Amino acid sequence: MEVTVYILRCADGSFYTGLTKQEIEARVWEHNNDPNPKSFTFTRRPVTLVFTETYDRLLDAIAREKQIKGWSRRKKERLIATDYLGLPDLSRRAHLIGKRSDR
């Protein structure tokens, strides 16, 4: 079973991160056409697919989705740009370590 983790860019500039077992094009279509006014993307349409990763195991995809959802906007932008070398620089922990003063 393949599971896709994806990021959408919404019309208001926000990002939505999700995962799906269905074809990604069908899932993006659903985000743009979902009649549920309570869904995150309902008032932020149209949405555009900007990033995908595919996993063989559902648990791996869930862990990755959760990880990405915890990231800052800047870090998500680096991921979307496939700037994998720049990702560690934006880690909250690395950021905090860099701010510590020597005692």
Mean pLDDT of 9-15: 98
Residue written as token pair 């697919």: 49
In this prediction the pTM is 0.87
pLDDT of residue 68: 98
pLDDT tens for residues 84-102?
888 888 876 655 555 544 4
Residues 18-60 pLDDT 10s: 999 999 999 999 999 999 999 999 999 999 999 999 999 999 9
pLDDT of residue 86: 85
pLDDT digits (tens, 9 = 90+) for 58-80: 999 999 999 999 999 999 999 99
- Domains in the chain (CATH in brackets) are 1-70 (3.40.1440.10), 71-103 (no CATH)
